[in-house]
Structure 1
Amino acid sequence: MLTTKPRFQTFKEYLKYDDNSDKLYELFNGKLIEITPESGLNIEIANFLFLKFASLVGHRRVRGHGLELEVRGEPKNRYPDLTIIREEHIQQLSKRNTIRLFMSPPLLVVEVVSPGDIQRERDYIAKRIQYQDCCIPEILDC
């Protein structure tokens, strides 16, 4: 049976959507674009950094790839490979792991850059512009 994904007029409308799966989606022009799984090497690097940062700021303030950031432009959301959140975010994220534009920005986002020209363009330029627009103080590409 073929199923179609809904279209969304607003990010708030999208936040109510639940397809009862563990899939991650970017919201691009009202459509859901499924995010492909990370490579083993990217996960290994992100996990290494998670352990290092957790020893510095505590494990509750370090979030992996599942943290969603609302951003301006298209897509309307991003999933950094690693994020250092503020103390206030811990409670705010207890129901949904999404930092909205009206919330304080995270302290740091990390993108493990994937190989290939398209991925480099996305990770080094497009994502960086969106993160800077959210006033995230530190952005690390590795």
Structure 2
Amino acid sequence: MLSVKHRFQSFEEYLSYDDGTDKLYELFNGELIEMPPESGINVQIATFLLIQFASLLGYRRVRGHGLELEVRGEPRNRYPDLTIIREEHIQQLAQRNTIRLSMLPPLLVVEVVSPGELQRHRDFIAKRVQYQDCGIPEYWIVDPENQTVLVLELSDNTYSEIGNFSGDDLIVSPQFNQLNLKVAQIFAAVHQD
């Protein structure tokens, strides 16, 4: 049996779609592309960071991989590995965990780079452009392969590099200067037995 793919004409039409599953999809050129599961290492890193930020800000402002972010370009949506939302987002996201372009942007998004050249390009280039366009004040790219954390800050509508931190470097976060976290702690959490 041949299945016919549904073509969405707008993001609003996509938002009303429900296939009855918990699958995550990116909307690319009007068609749904199912998102593959994250690697175990990526999930461990994102969970470790979620716990760090939740202890700093409270659990209500920290969202994991299930938060959907509407962006311009293709795909039309992204699922950051970790997102720090604004206080006003808590109520706005009560019905659907989607931050629309019409809403204020989140304060921080974190992507953990998956293995492979395509994934590296997506996190370092494509998502950087889309998150910058959304006006997200801070973007972290956590790179397990090189054990680094690149912190970007939005300045004059363009991301500038705050630092590419590694080892015992303290991560400098313009949005969360009370954060006291070394890069080595993130990767040590992954390698604990």
Q: Is the partner of 1:26 in helix, strand or coil? A: strand
Kindly tell me the number of residue pairs found equivalent between the two proteins.
142
Q: Distance in 1 between matches of 2:21 and 2:109?
A: 25
What are the within-5 Å matches in structure 2 for residues 37-76 of structure 1? 37-76=37-76
- Identical-residue share of aligned pairs (%): 75
State the match for 1:101 in structure 2: 101
Q: Distance in 1 between matches of 2:93 and 2:4?
A: 29
Distance apart, 1:5 and its partner CA: 3.4
Q: TM-score, normalised by structure 2?
A: 0.72
2:81 counterpart letter in structure 1 = D
State the match for 1:122 in structure 2: 122
1:3-32 Cα shifts (integer Å, max 9, x gaps):
333110100110000000000000000000
What are structure 2's unaligned runs of at least 5 residues? 143-193
State the match for 2:90 in structure 1: 90
Which stretch of structure 1 is more off in the superposition, 43-52 or 4-13?
A: 4-13
1:30 counterpart letter in structure 2 = G
Q: Distance in 2 between matches of 1:2 and 1:96?
A: 31
Distance apart, 1:116 and its partner CA: 1.2
Q: Is the partner of 2:27 in helix, strand or coil? A: strand
Q: Is the partner of 2:109 in helix, strand or coil? A: strand
1:48-70 Cα shifts (integer Å, max 9, x gaps):
00000001111000000000000
Distance apart, 1:115 and its partner CA: 1.4
State the match for 2:136 in structure 1: 136
What are structure 1's unaligned runs of at least 5 residues? none
Q: Is the partner of 1:91 in helix, strand or coil? A: helix
Q: Could you say which structure has the larger radius of gyration?
A: 2
Q: Is the partner of 1:27 in helix, strand or coil? A: strand
Q: Distance in 2 between matches of 1:91 and 1:4?
A: 37
State the match for 2:177 in structure 1: none
1:62 counterpart letter in structure 2 = V
Q: Is the partner of 2:32 in helix, strand or coil? A: strand
Q: Distance in 2 between matches of 1:61 and 1:3?
A: 40
RMSD: 0.8
State the match for 1:79 in structure 2: 79
Distance apart, 1:2 and its partner CA: 4.6
Q: Distance in 2 between matches of 1:130 and 1:75?
A: 10
